[in-house]
């Protein structure tokens, strides 16, 4: 197992699929919902689609952690996820209070997922510094 | 935890990648174990011991 593991390759393929659906859902939402072309159940379906694609991306990461057979790489990935979660929760709490006191503008909640994956990237830097490995990004 | 993995590997002229392939783990894992940055689980420690034909305590040493 010199290069990427089977689990890592599956992660890349599944994440690409989830992101493709996400981008298509965003485009469809802009055209169909913002353009006023759908109503009723279809409106709900297309409004839910981007969020469900993000849920799929989170599930894909969870699947990777379950399927990765290399315990060291798996530990690093879990460490990264904990760092990402800690940073995201901290940001949400701080921003929430600042917004409540009228010091900052409104933060659209769907950006929290982008922040989490940004935190996951920071987690990779921390993992490199602590464990000497980029983990799944090897 | 200290270990003799690097010495045992060198005695057999195996690269980290070769040892990793034999253990079915990543080269990063072998490197992390050798440098003491990561202590393997008991199942992996047994796989390492079996590969070298030694007991776990002959490879992994108390600090």
Does the beta-carbon distance from B26 to A132 stay under 8 Å?
A: no
Give per-residue pLDDT as tens, B30-58: 999 999 999 999 999 999 999 999 999 99
Quote ipTM for the complex. 0.91
Shared domain for A55 and A90, answered yes or no, is no
Alpha carbon distance A60, A46 (integer Å): 21
| pTM reported for the whole predicted model | 0.87
Which tokens sit at B62? 């108390």
Alpha carbon distance A76, A126 (integer Å): 10
Shared domain for A29 and A89, answered yes or no, is no
Give per-residue pLDDT as tens, A26-82: 999 999 999 999 999 999 999 999 999 999 999 999 999 999 999 999 999 999 999
Task: Give the domain extent around A35.
Answer: 1-69
Q: Which residues of B touch A (CB under 8 A)?
A: 17, 20-21, 24-29, 31-33, 35, 37-38, 40-41, 44
Residue A57: count of CB within 10 angstroms of its CB: 19
Does the beta-carbon distance from A70 to B26 stay under 8 Å?
A: yes
Name the H helices within chain A.
6-28, 40-67, 71-100, 111-131
Q: Which residue has the tokens 């800690």?
A: A86
Q: How many domains does chain B have?
A: 1
């Amino acid at each position: 197992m010199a290069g990427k593991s089977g689990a890592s390759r599956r992660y890349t393929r599944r994440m690409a699929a989830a992101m493709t659906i996400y981008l298509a859902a965003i485009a469809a939402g802009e055209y169909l919902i913002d353009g006023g072309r759908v109503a009723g159940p279809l409106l709900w379906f297309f409004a839910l689609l981007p969020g469900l694609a993000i849920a799929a991306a989170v599930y894909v990461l969870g699947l990777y952690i379950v399927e990765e057979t290399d315990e060291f790489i798996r530990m690093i990935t879990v460490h990264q996820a904990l760092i990402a979660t800690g940073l995201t929760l901290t940001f949400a709490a701080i921003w929430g209070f600042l917004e409540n006191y009228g010091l900052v503008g409104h933060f659209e909640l769907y950006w929290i997922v982008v922040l989490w994956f940004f935190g996951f990237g920071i987690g990779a830097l921390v993992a490199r510094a602590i464990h000497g490995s980029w983990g799944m990004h090897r | 935890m200290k270990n003799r993995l690097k010495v045992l590997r060198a005695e057999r002229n195996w690269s980290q990648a070769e040892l990793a392939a034999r253990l079915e783990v990543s080269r990063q894992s072998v490197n992390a174990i050798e440098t003491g940055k990561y202590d393997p689980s008991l199942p992996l420690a047994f796989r390492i011991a079996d590969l070298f034909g030694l007991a776990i305590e002959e490879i992994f040493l108390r600090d």
